[in-house]
Structure 1
């Protein structure tokens, strides 16, 4: 069953190009270790919620945009092995993140239905 790593993060709007470049630099590392696809999304229509929303989830500040991304893995075992390797990969560690990683939300999800 496919497995997804999903991230939600605040990115300075002026850093959109740097954010996309960061993705272009890291995607080969993920694919080298078995990822099927890497998807990046830039917030265009992020409504304010009554109880919670994407903006509050990442403590969005003026001049920032919510970005969402996911890595599709063939299964959780491949993902777990890949992340162990990635956390030791000097190429990955050498990259600067063009966003505030402390306000990034991330989690792994098992795909249970695709319609």
Structure 2
């Protein structure tokens, strides 16, 4: 089964275009190094009648939108290999010279690796 790196991060609406541009470049790099899929999704329908809505879970500040992202790999080993190549890629290093200049709050980003349980 495949392996997925998942991300959840708050992005100020005023920075969404800059984030989209950065993410498009990053997605191209991850795919070049072997990732099977790369997605970046901005929150849209967030007023749920059940469960814990993303804005509440993430403690979003006024003017922020949640971004839910994932990168798919063949396996955890494949993920580790691809990510090692990506982190050495000078294009990625050039995009992230200073965490304070990122279009989102790096300290509030959630990240983890996930085993696929079901593929329908």
Which bracket does the TM-score occupy, shorter chain normalised?
Answer: 0.7 to 0.9
1:66 — aligned with what?
Answer: 66
1:110 to 109, 112, 115: 115
Higher helix share: 2
What RMSD over aligned residues (CA atoms) do the two structures have, in Å? 2.0
1:36 — aligned with what?
Answer: 36
CA contact (8 A) 1:59 1:103 kept: no
Q: Which runs of 5+ in 2 are unaligned?
A: 97-101
1:2 — aligned with what?
Answer: 2
5 Å-filtered alignment, 1:6-21, equals 6-21=6-21
After TM superposition, what 4+ stretches of structure 1 lie above 6 angstroms from structure 2? 48-51
